[in-house]
Chain A
């Protein structure tokens, strides 16, 4: 008789522990996501992303900056990769791109921009910092993108759904200008993202 009760109660205990823990974690997650502070935050983010100005990568480049001037009158056809002239042009181009100027009026603006992800920091569950670039495989291509065609993104507490390396995403957040070089007066773009979502 005692055994009967023992079985019954131990079974009930096991089942309730399993269910309770599951329920607990689910509720906790929901609460965190739906808590008053989080909810208000989410609402603010929703509003913000609607008001964000959608940017194109060309918007990050000042209108008067035209590196193509370098190549005016020169035909690049017929020049092989190891031709000394090609090397010279490459170096000149890299120098210019390294000093690429930024569009200062974007500083402090709420923007939304799409691009490819180059991960920098990861906390085990999501990417916390990354570089956003306009084309796939930026860090292995020659040459690397100029400073004004790269955005340094920090995700902080924002939701960041990044599926894989070089994933295409939309980044929404406030754009800021950051000093890059301690010698030259060059700056670059950074964004503290409020939302990072997949680009469909």
Chain B
């Protein structure tokens, strides 16, 4: 233990350089563990966004694009699906349930989605979980809205409050539908998916909002009041996409095929599990590259530490000679240098871990807002501990280099103190 004490005191004496080394190591550990954690959490979050849905159908585009806008509310559809096609396809004998959705509007930065009451009955996420209400119930009459958990929280909305919905999806709506306010009738529980950041209204409501709009602009002198719109008993004319649940998942291929070959309109049907996997595979290369880079960064950090210790060895030869004179063996000198390096590695890794958690607390809400991904901050996983252990072991191994150097010096120098 004498050597450990000496190592610690020696480090404290040179705490300026030691802390710089610590910063290097801890930052590299943050990168490594952060990448790993992000990777796993994103994977989890991705997989949780949709469950129990057999097919998603949209106007013909790329499958990734369809997945992104229909499930993640990222991006936009290039075209719509006619209501007639939806009705025909959803009444197929192999279909058990269907949920049509209509996207394109926004309210203060949150997307507005038109759908049917069936959404709350059939939509599942995270291994077949159903949506649940914290307060209230699904929409019933025309001007009613159901809010996702984050919408209510961030905008401070409560039940029975009135909100106004704008056209287009920007955060600031330059043109508004002032004359048709909606009443909040339900607030959903948090799901950790893009549902939390969505405002749900009926498909008819979307039609009512746009009744006096053509080509994206409100026609001056042509406005229809809220009551009159309600009286018109509007039916949806087109939707953005729809989700299907089949009686048996074995029909998936047949129904998919039929939809893709539908004569009336160019449509695209995707299997969510497959589309998610494809998306993940695309990102997969990037995440592997990121992991490789982080590993290199850790090595750079450790090399920096070794360099610092090696360069300081020359001026510590006197110190080693003193130790030899009081009876320290060359192996003690080895242990001293090794002890210093290992201490730096351990503390650096520990600091890195703490820093990582600090960053995660800070970044979690930001990531959720920007990407719709919910990063769960929990105890480090076994794999993360393994990575940490690998960093520490690497630190110990590279520390052998300067320690051995010191050993050889002390062997050669003996007690001869060179000035």
Indicate whether A and B are direct neighbours in the complex (CB within 8 Å): yes
B248 touches A8 (CB 8 A): no
Partner of B248 from A25, A164, A180 at Cβ < 8 Å: A180
Stretch at the interface among A41-49, A51-59, A142-150: A142-150
B250 touches A188 (CB 8 A): yes
A11 neighbours in B (Cβ, 8 Å): 4, 8, 343, 346
A145 neighbours in B (Cβ, 8 Å): 253
Within 8 A of A (CB), among B109-141: 127-128
B250 touches A180 (CB 8 A): yes
A180 neighbours in B (Cβ, 8 Å): 94, 247-248, 250-251
Min distance, Cβ B112 to any Cβ of chain A, angstroms: 28
Partner of B4 from A8, A120, A125, A144 at Cβ < 8 Å: A8
B276 touches A122 (CB 8 A): yes
Within 8 A of B (CB), among A112-136: 118-125, 127-131
Stretch at the interface among A13-21, A61-69, A70-78, A103-111: A13-21
With A98-B254, A144-B253, A179-B248 as known contacts, state yes or no: A164 contacts B388, CB within 8 Å. Answer: no
B51 touches A121 (CB 8 A): yes
Q: Measured between alpha carbons, how far is A8 from B4 in the docked complex, in Å? A: 8
Q: Measured between alpha carbons, how far is A21 from B272 in the docked complex, in Å? A: 37
A-B contacts, CB under 8 A, total: 135
Min distance, Cβ A109 to any Cβ of chain B, angstroms: 18
Partner of B250 from A124, A178, A183 at Cβ < 8 Å: A178
Task: Classify the secondary structure of A's interface with B.
Answer: mixed
B44 proximal to A (CB < 8 A) = yes
Q: Measured between alpha carbons, how far is A170 from B9 in the docked complex, in Å? A: 60
Within 8 A of A (CB), among B352-401: 379-382, 385-386, 388-389, 392
Partner of A147 from B43, B251, B388, B392 at Cβ < 8 Å: B251
A181 proximal to B (CB < 8 A) = yes
Partner of A128 from B12, B46, B127 at Cβ < 8 Å: B127
B93 touches A182 (CB 8 A): yes
Residue of A nearest to B339 (CB): A11
A18 touches B388 (CB 8 A): yes
A131 touches B250 (CB 8 A): yes
Q: Measured between alpha carbons, how far is A189 from B386 in the docked complex, in Å? A: 41
Partner of A21 from B51, B248, B385 at Cβ < 8 Å: B385
Q: Measured between alpha carbons, how far is A120 from B53 in the docked complex, in Å? A: 9
A165 proximal to B (CB < 8 A) = yes
With A121-B273, A150-B253, A182-B93 as known contacts, state yes or no: A15 contacts B346, CB within 8 Å. Answer: yes
A22 proximal to B (CB < 8 A) = yes
Q: Measured between alpha carbons, how far is A188 from B94 in the docked complex, in Å? A: 13
A37 neighbours in B (Cβ, 8 Å): none
A184 touches B93 (CB 8 A): yes
Residue of A nearest to B347 (CB): A14
Partner of A14 from B96, B346, B389 at Cβ < 8 Å: B346
B274 proximal to A (CB < 8 A) = yes
Q: Measured between alpha carbons, how far is A178 from B246 in the docked complex, in Å? A: 13
With A22-B386, A25-B385, A144-B257 as known contacts, state yes or no: A123 contacts B47, CB within 8 Å. Answer: yes
Q: Measured between alpha carbons, how far is A14 from B8 in the docked complex, in Å? A: 14
Interface flags for A63-106 (1: CB within 8 Å of B; 0: not) read: 00000000000000000000000000000001000100000000
B256 proximal to A (CB < 8 A) = yes
A127 neighbours in B (Cβ, 8 Å): 273
Most buried by A among B277, B281, B382: B277
Partner of B44 from A29, A124, A179, A183 at Cβ < 8 Å: A124
B271 proximal to A (CB < 8 A) = yes
A142 neighbours in B (Cβ, 8 Å): 257
B40 neighbours in A (Cβ, 8 Å): 124
A190 proximal to B (CB < 8 A) = yes
Q: Measured between alpha carbons, how far is A41 from B255 in the docked complex, in Å? A: 38
B278 proximal to A (CB < 8 A) = yes
Min distance, Cβ A14 to any Cβ of chain B, angstroms: 5
B47 touches A122 (CB 8 A): yes
A25 touches B382 (CB 8 A): yes
The 3 closest A-B pairs by CB, nearest first: A144-B253, A124-B44, A188-B250
Q: Would you mind naming 14 contact pairs between A and B with Cβ atoms under 8 Å apart?
A: A4-B5, A7-B5, A8-B1, A11-B343, A21-B385, A22-B382, A98-B254, A119-B273, A121-B127, A124-B47, A139-B271, A144-B256, A181-B93, A183-B93
* Besides A121-B52, A147-B254, 20 other A-B contacts (C-beta < 8 A): A7-B8, A8-B4, A8-B5, A8-B8, A11-B8, A14-B350, A18-B385, A21-B379, A21-B385, A25-B381, A118-B273, A121-B51, A124-B43, A131-B250, A144-B256, A152-B248, A165-B274, A165-B278, A180-B247, A182-B96
